[in-house]
A and B are shown apart, each in its own frame.
Chain A
């Protein structure tokens, strides 16, 4: 069984939901990320989403844009992000890692080389924001034959036909973007999420993670009751940004927020 499948199976058995932090690799500096990943695991997260910095993050709000810019200033790239995963795997064999980024770095590396490299780095899933299923056939097949899950986004305006399409081409889990907008925008509406998740569930057996707009423990708890996992990104990165003078303090603040979320979700 893949690490992602094993994680969701174990969570279901314990009647718990996945806590999934998103951080941009190499933000605020390349040395920060691996120790942060280990600390987040100790704080009770289940899956880690690592953002690959990109020069033109079209689907991201200002917080993650700036994270990308900080990481790029240190020449963090797709290749060095894979190196971070490799480093993490040396001492953690069980926590799934999903990389999330944009297509151009993958295009330039080449799909086959990318699939090999991702597999070799011990990465479990790949979410490419600007690669919809219609264009994804070649890349997803290369990933799937290496046991890496192609993960797809669903939006509030995705039709039932599109949900079914993601179900057939995707693996690992589906990522429901809970609001129309970019990352870090506004506040999500729990009632709307509930209605849409029912429609999604009717079209897939894959676990559903919900993200975009989860900022505090209370929202995490509400969302955990609806989906199978909660993704939290901009709120964590805001802590990095608020503590640029002290990465150690940033790490502490992130762990504190995740610990509060874990507690709220489990109670």
Chain B
């Protein structure tokens, strides 16, 4: 790449992907948000406040941890983990909610809404809303409410109202639909904090920019600790925010491989998966054009994954662009393989990863041994596994 990467264009396009595909009532709100976002990202006072919060409230920078024992056991690349699991609330999601909540405050909005799948984004949103004294409503599919009950309780403790969404497949996509319906209805006082690099422009670019802190840190930490850049980056991809945050500062480093790991559920060949980049087709959903899981009639197909945070039929439009352009590649990991990644990291390094992040760990099990010993592999440990204890215990037949 000779020219510096500068996606998206002014209307949010990453090639044919992205854009703004919403009902007319939302257009003025989206324009207002875009203006505010463009303004405050250049505003020294805003950036200073954001940096301060990221340092003292979130706990940044997060370590880049050399997983020495695991690297030796796999016998290939030297594996470094970006420790987003150590952030306040336990995942990368808070990098984005801190940023968007500050933006909401500057815009004079008094009410925050969000969608959530695993509940990590919901918790991260309820957390910043509590801190800023803003009213907070979280939409969560009824299926996810049942499988992530610990996070539901956390959100309630933080003062948020959690609405169980009973429509459609009762998972993340339906929670997003319901949040969009809330937003059109309460547009004057409400700020919608989207939790991933999806939605209409400016969300994909804005969420990426807030998450890019983790990639900038990882790049500097890698250079400081090893004196060189990594050969490859690996991150799980639900909507794609932790992956985009890691990839973005490395896009112009053409020799650094970018690898996103989608959830293959029971296996992509079974149709029961959440891997639109690997096995979907382009379409339009939730405000942008991207790869989607839809049938021949254009209806969205139900998705499957052991991890609620990856159980989404779409993916951020920038990933669609990175896939088509060949800059990034996308692979998939089944539920069973993800469990292998979960146990490997837990036993090898004493770190219990989230089931979402376990997909990246599982791919590391495959990839690292194929790499040279002087290769560096950075894997994003996007969150910790505390929220998944019930799911894991149940799989092991244990009643907690």
> A interface vs B, CB < 8 Å?
54-62, 65, 69, 72, 77-79, 102-109, 129-132, 134-135, 152-159, 162, 177, 180-182, 185
Interface contact A104-B298, CB-CB below 8 Å: yes
Q: Cβ of B134 < 8 Å from any Cβ of A? A: no
Between-chain CB contacts (< 8 Å), 9 pairs? A56-B174, A69-B167, A77-B297, A79-B297, A104-B298, A131-B21, A134-B19, A152-B24, A182-B181
Shortest distance between the CB of A67 and any CB in chain B (Å): 12
Given contact pairs A57-B177, A108-B297, A180 touches B25 in the complex (Cβ within 8 A)? yes
Decide: B299 and A153 in contact? CB cutoff 8 A.
Answer: no
C-alpha gap A134/B9 in the complex (Å): 14
The answer to whether A107 and B284 touch (CB under 8 A), given A56-B173, A59-B23, A158-B24, is yes
Question: Which residues from A are CB-within-8-Å of B389?
Answer: none
Known contacts A56-B168, A107-B289; decide if A135 and B21 are in contact (CB<8 Å): yes
In the assembled complex, the CB of A236 is this many whole angstroms from the nearest CB of chain B, namely 20
Q: Which of A130, A131, A152, A177: most chain B CB closer than 10 A?
A: A130
- What is the chain B residue whose CB lies nearest that of A152? B24
Give the docked Cα–Cα distance between A54 and B23 (Å): 15
Q: Contact partner of A180 among B177, B185, B284, CB < 8 A?
A: B185
Number of A-B contacts (CB under 8 A): 118
Return chain A residues, CB-CB under 8 Å to B181: 58-61, 181-182
- Residue from A60, A65, A72 in contact with B299 in the complex, judged by beta carbons closer than 8 Å: A72
Q: Which of A56, A61, A72 has the most CB of B within 10 A?
A: A56
Q: Known interface pairs A57-B177, A132-B20. Does A158 touch B299 (Cβ–Cβ under 8 Å)?
A: no
Residues of chain B lying within 8 A (CB to CB) of residue A157: 25, 28-29, 187
Q: A61-B181, A130-B287, A157-B25 are in contact. Are A104 and B20 (CB under 8 A)?
A: no
Contact B297 A56 (CB under 8 A): no
Chain A residues in 8 Å Cβ range of B297: 77-79, 105, 108
In the assembly, what is the distance between CA of A226 and CA of B24, in Å?
A: 21
Establish whether residues A134 and B177, one from each chain, have CB atoms under 8 Å apart when the complex forms: no
Report B-chain residues with C-beta under 8 Å of the C-beta of A135: 19-21
Lowest 6 A-B CB distances belong to which pairs?
A: A105-B298, A108-B298, A77-B297, A155-B25, A181-B185, A153-B24
Q: Is residue B296 within 8 Å, beta carbon to beta carbon, of the partner chain?
A: yes
Q: In whole Å, how far is A33's beta carbon from the nearest beta carbon of chain B?
A: 17
A contact residues around B283 at 8 Å (CB): 104, 107-108
Q: Is B27 an interface residue (CB 8 A)?
A: yes
Give every chain B residue within 8 A of A154 (Cβ-Cβ): 24
